[in-house]
Amino acid sequence: MSISASTTNNLDAFWMPFTANRQFKQAPRMFVGAKDMHYTTADGRQVLDGTAGLWCCNAGHSRPRIVEAVQKQVAELDYAPAFQMGHPKAFELAARLAALLPSPLDHVFFTNSGSESVDTALKIALAYQRAIGQGTRTRLIGRERGYHGVGFGGISVGGIVNNRKTFGTMLTGVDHMRHTHDPSRNAFSRGMPEHGAEYAEDLIRIIQLHDPSTIAAVIVEPVAGSTGVILPPKKYLERLRAICDQHGILLIFDEVITGFGRLGSPFATDYFGVTPDLVTTAKGLTSGVIPMGAVFCTKAIYDAFMTGPDHMIELFHGYTYSAHPIACAAALATLDTYDEEGLLTRAADLAQYWEDGLHALKDCPHVIDIRNLGLIGAIELEGIAGEPTKRAFSAFLKAYDDGLLIRTTGDIIALSPPLIISKEQIDELFDKLRTVLNSID
């Protein structure tokens, strides 16, 4: 494909999300194709995908089964009303997903993104507490440095300063636990950090401040991604679960990035052996091909709503595109691909190899911490004095020039390749990254 066919000479109109628009428009980076582990750039280069797009293309790119399913579905049933009507694939997908999650997480509410999944889970939590006669429980608790998407619900419980500070007061009645990042004790940990289970006790402080009777739910990412990869200390999530149980508080795991095989188990709830009351997902559900999200809840939560006259709507919530037929077809074909290729557990087989390759970068210039779990990696660089984010962004630009896609947030490089990556490609990824780290200022 020629550059002129795939780019435009007017880049002005598109206000790009989470992007340095002026910098980008001076030197655009355009992808025009993707296959398996690689993107193709507008100038015809192959770029190794070190980030599964944005943590979403877990099955790799343009996988035949998914492509075919989407093509077929759009010609067969393009859209069906989501309210008071159904279509078979929505029920088939919900049943397959419910079987994939550990019991009792056996009901599914469909959305179109991680942000919508978060809003949905928070609303279900509030409405559930009211439905069981606990209507005083209106507070929502998140965590510092948490990322739960960009809706007002998500930024309210989220804890990333730049995502919040310009958007007013957001939801009221929200509080935040402290984050679990502790480089003084845990730097260069391999896998889960040893120290910090006691940070869960911060929830007790918040409960004592507000009284448990005012708190509906706690939401955390089991592994925090967007903030630059923060892993849960050993025993931390178990302790959060126990505190929530003790005080009648619902626990929500935001599995938008950990869901669908990222850690080597289908979900983080399997990996950590801690079962929340609600799970939010998106991204890997369709391997990024069609926007879709899903919220899982326990039977107890679902059943609490199934009261009153049969003809009454039980939950006044939903989206025009909830369980969109094309998204359902993409998700079903994605689950087939995951099954056929064992992708939901493949990261477990690669995790040690990945960890060894990643931690071998410890001696590169500027590296102050390395973190990993499953097929997630993070390399924290020392920021340039007075110019935060600049060093990591230089690494991003250099990596792109060298044929590797990485993500950066602050001065942290985050890696989350498609789950189909080979050992040779893991070697290639870290070789390229070593060259990048050795060449930036």
Is 147 an interacting residue with respect to ligand PXG (CB under 6 A)? yes
Dihedral sign, CA of 294, 295, 296, 300? negative
Choose one: 28-36, 109-117, 194-202, 349-357; the region binding ligand PXG (CB under 6 A): 109-117
Among 50, 53, 60, 149, binds ligand PXG (CB under 6 A): 149
Tokens 């209507």 appear where? 135
Cα 406 from Cα 8, distance rounded (Å)? 25
CB of 45 to ligand PXG, least distance (A): 22
Burial state string for 38-50 with b = 16 or more CB within 10 A and e = fewer than 16: bbbbbeeeebbbb
The count of chain residues that interact with ligand PXG, using the rule CB under 6 A, is 19
Choose one: 142-150, 183-191, 207-215, 355-363; the region binding ligand PXG (CB under 6 A): 142-150
CB of 151 to ligand PXG, least distance (A): 8
Is 256 an interacting residue with respect to ligand PXG (CB under 6 A)? yes
- Is residue 76 classed exposed, middle or buried when 0-12, 13-18 and 19+ CB atoms within 10 A define those classes? exposed
Q: Are strands 250-254 and 278-281 parallel, antiparallel or unpaired?
A: parallel
Is 281 an interacting residue with respect to ligand PXG (CB under 6 A)? no
Of 131 and 319, which has the nearer Cβ to ligand PXG?
Answer: 319
Choose one: 113-121, 122-130, 212-220, 306-314; the region binding ligand PXG (CB under 6 A): 113-121
CB of 252 to ligand PXG, least distance (A): 11
| Chain residues 361-420 in contact with ligand PXG, contact rule CB under 6 A | 407, 409, 414
Assigned token pair, 280: 């939010």
Among 219, 257, 327, 436, binds ligand PXG (CB under 6 A): 257
Q: Cβ contacts of residue 6 below 8 Å, gap of 6+?
A: 30, 32, 42
Of 147 and 272, which has the nearer Cβ to ligand PXG?
Answer: 147
Tokens 């780290």 appear where? 437
Amino acid at 47: V
Nearest residue to ligand PXG on Cβ basis: 114
Of 52 and 344, which has the nearer Cβ to ligand PXG?
Answer: 52
Of 54 and 315, which has the nearer Cβ to ligand PXG?
Answer: 54
Choose one: 145-153, 311-319, 332-340, 382-390; the region binding ligand PXG (CB under 6 A): 145-153
Per-residue mark of binding to ligand PXG, 325-364 (x: CB under 6 A): ----------------------------------------
Of 131 and 408, which has the nearer Cβ to ligand PXG?
Answer: 408
Binding site for ligand PXG (CB under 6 A): 54-55, 113-115, 118, 147-149, 221, 225-226, 254, 256-257, 282, 407, 409, 414
